[in-house]
């Protein structure tokens, strides 16, 4: 994924509500105020998507036309609505019923503080968001249209941060609707949670999952030129430490070159086909010399989605998280809860995988090493080994419950390991789940949470919940306030709600 390509030409439309009652002078003022808000928001680098001011809307026809245009515009990825004055909301209902893009209701006012000495009825009639926004909100609720509501003065940092975080969720949603996951091989045999209904995914999120034999990929891998491999090996040498025998002149250097060949071959396959993510399976490697390890690590860092063992749901979810993370600091990776460190209150999880953890979460320079895999019966695979960064993170998963999807989000704190792990040949990160391992793991398991996850220090829980709202899937959060008893009840209530609200 080239981030610039994703952002190119994408827009959020800013629509302002008013009515004819106030006369043309007031409408002109409303339009000027809307433009100054849009200019202010566009000037903030927390909002990476361009916001485009649209006409002030004062009639049912104009609203319906504007929202239909938003729905069919390939550039528009979402609509921000602001009610400067009172805009009778029955006018909005026909348009809202057809709205096909994510909606953010910005409940702000152009003027910040009340001008105590000069305030009069003209001022009051121009600055009516306080009740105009409520009138609009009622209509949106009445129609059951999902939307995010952001409240506060538009110059406040918090408001701009919220709009910015939502803007990349809207982009991630757009990306998922046109997304394609290449599945090399199939699911790891007999594994349950990595499977799911691809048609349901198409209906719910928009992306398609397309299967290929590994032979289709092998052709691309074998066709990579030595010159391209030379260039990629030089990138490795500048970005990472390389274990002695693997580097140029070392007895195992050919294995490193083969890893570079895989990276280039897979990327070409994905780019030529317009794929946004992919899966591999260590059980299906016919024609590949080694299980791709460094290749998915590198491709994840470049923004592609990835899931191991045929896990296309996590591949698609990771890609979505990568897009949400645009413009934010911290890494995002495929992850698996691997082993526990039981020490009572401070018990923690060591997250890792056979090989495939994204270097974007690395603390310091990753080191490229080669070790036997122990399963799969292939040559020893090359991988980048590192410890993850400490600090707050989310660990999230998307599971298929048969008739619907459920997103589960656990807030966690990544912590430094007590001691180095010199004999562990894979990338890893240690974290404490909130509220603690006992409740965090119990609730995760009760919700049916997978062992594969998207782990991120960039994406926030609010962004994940925003995405769930846009796509109409359940989101449950495990945080410092979670108790097993309440969580189990929440699952039951949600079960009922989603039974009545089937896609």
Contact residues toward Mn ion (CB under 5 A) are 308, 336
**Which C-beta is closer to Mn ion: that of 96 or that of 308?**
308
Q: Report the C-alpha gap between 294 and 302 in whole angstroms.
A: 12
Asked whether the beta carbons of 190 and 76 are under 8 A apart, the reply is: no
Structure tokens at 47: 């909002």
**Which C-beta is closer to Mn ion: that of 81 or that of 295?**
295
**Which C-beta is closer to Mn ion: that of 154 or that of 278?**
278
Q: Report the C-alpha gap between 209 and 357 in whole angstroms.
A: 22
3 state DSSP class of 81: strand
Asked whether the beta carbons of 408 and 348 are under 8 A apart, the reply is: no
CB of 336 to Mn ion, least distance (A): 5
Asked whether the beta carbons of 104 and 166 are under 8 A apart, the reply is: yes
CB of 289 to Mn ion, least distance (A): 21
**Which C-beta is closer to Mn ion: that of 135 or that of 283?**
283
Give the β-pairing of 348-352 and 367-370: unpaired
**Which C-beta is closer to Mn ion: that of 199 or that of 375?**
375
Q: Which CA distances in Å does 390 have to 11, 346, 457?
A: 35, 15, 9
CB of 491 to Mn ion, least distance (A): 25
**Which C-beta is closer to Mn ion: that of 75 or that of 283?**
283
Q: Report the C-alpha gap between 172 and 23 in whole angstroms.
A: 40
Structure tokens at 373: 């895999």
CB of 65 to Mn ion, least distance (A): 50
Cβ-in-10-Å burial (0-12, 13-18, 19+) of 111 comes to middle
CB of 356 to Mn ion, least distance (A): 8
**Which C-beta is closer to Mn ion: that of 173 or that of 452?**
452
CB of 135 to Mn ion, least distance (A): 51
CB of 342 to Mn ion, least distance (A): 22
Q: Report the C-alpha gap between 8 and 193 in whole angstroms.
A: 36
Select from 25, 141, 27 the least CA-distant residue to 92: 141
């Amino acid at each position: 994924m080239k981030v610039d390509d994703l952002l190119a030409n994408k827009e959020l439309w800013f629509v302002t509500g008013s009515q004819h009652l106030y006369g043309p002078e007031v409408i002109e003022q409303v339009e000027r105020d809307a433009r100054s808000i849009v200019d202010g928001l566009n000037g903030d680098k927390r909002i990476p998507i361009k916001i485009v001011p649209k006409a002030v809307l004062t009639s049912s026809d104009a609203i319906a036309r504007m929202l239909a245009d938003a729905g069919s515009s390939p550039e528009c990825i979402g609509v921000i609505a602001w009610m400067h004055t009172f805009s009778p909301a029955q006018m909005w209902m026909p348009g809202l019923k057809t709205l096909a893009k994510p909606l953010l209701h910005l409940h702000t006012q152009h003027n910040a503080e009340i001008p105590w000495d000069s305030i009069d009825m003209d001022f009051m009639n121009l600055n009516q968001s306080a009740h105009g926004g409520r009138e609009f909100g009622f209509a949106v609720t009445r129609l059951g249209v999902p939307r995010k509501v952001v409240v506060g003065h538009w110059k406040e940092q918090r408001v701009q941060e919220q709009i910015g975080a939502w803007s990349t969720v809207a982009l991630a949603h757009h990306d998922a609707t046109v997304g394609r996951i290449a599945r090399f091989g199939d699911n790891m045999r007999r594994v349950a949670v990595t499977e799911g209904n691809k048609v349901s995914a198409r209906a719910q999120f928009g992306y398609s999952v397309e299967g290929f034999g590994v032979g289709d990929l092998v052709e691309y891998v074998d066709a990579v030129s030595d010159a391209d491999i030379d260039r990629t090996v030089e990138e490795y040498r500048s970005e990472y430490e390389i274990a002695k025998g693997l580097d140029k002149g070392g007895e195992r250097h050919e294995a490193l070159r083969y890893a570079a060949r895989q990276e280039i071959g897979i990327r070409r396959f994905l780019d030529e086909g317009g794929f946004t993510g992919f899966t591999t399976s260590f059980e299906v490697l016919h024609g590949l010399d080694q299980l791709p390890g460094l290749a998915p690590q590198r491709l994840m860092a470049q923004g592609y989605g990835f899931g191991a063992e045929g896990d296309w749901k996590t591949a698609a979810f990771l890609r979505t998280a990568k897009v949400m993370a645009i413009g934010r600091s911290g890494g995002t990776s495929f992850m698996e809860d691997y082993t526990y460190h039981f020490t009572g209150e401070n018990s923690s999880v060591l997250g890792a995988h056979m090989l495939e953890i994204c270097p974007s979460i690395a603390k310091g320079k990753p080191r490229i090493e080669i070790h036997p895999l122990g399963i799969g019966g292939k040559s020893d695979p090359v991988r980048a080994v590192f410890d993850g960064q400490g600090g707050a993170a989310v660990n999230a998963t998307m599971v298929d419950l048969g008739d619907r999807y459920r997103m589960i989000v656990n807030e966690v704190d990544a912590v430094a390991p007590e001691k180095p792990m010199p004999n562990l040949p894979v990338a890893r990160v240690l974290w404490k789940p909130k509220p603690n391992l006992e409740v965090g793991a119990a609730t995760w398991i009760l919700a049916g949470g997978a062992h594969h996850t998207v782990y991120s220090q960039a994406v926030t829980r609010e962004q994940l919940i925003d995405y769930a709202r846009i796509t109409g899937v359940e989101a449950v959060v495990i945080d410092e306030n979670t108790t097993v008893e309440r969580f189990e009840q929440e699952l039951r209530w949600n079960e009922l709600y989603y039974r009545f609200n089937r896609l």
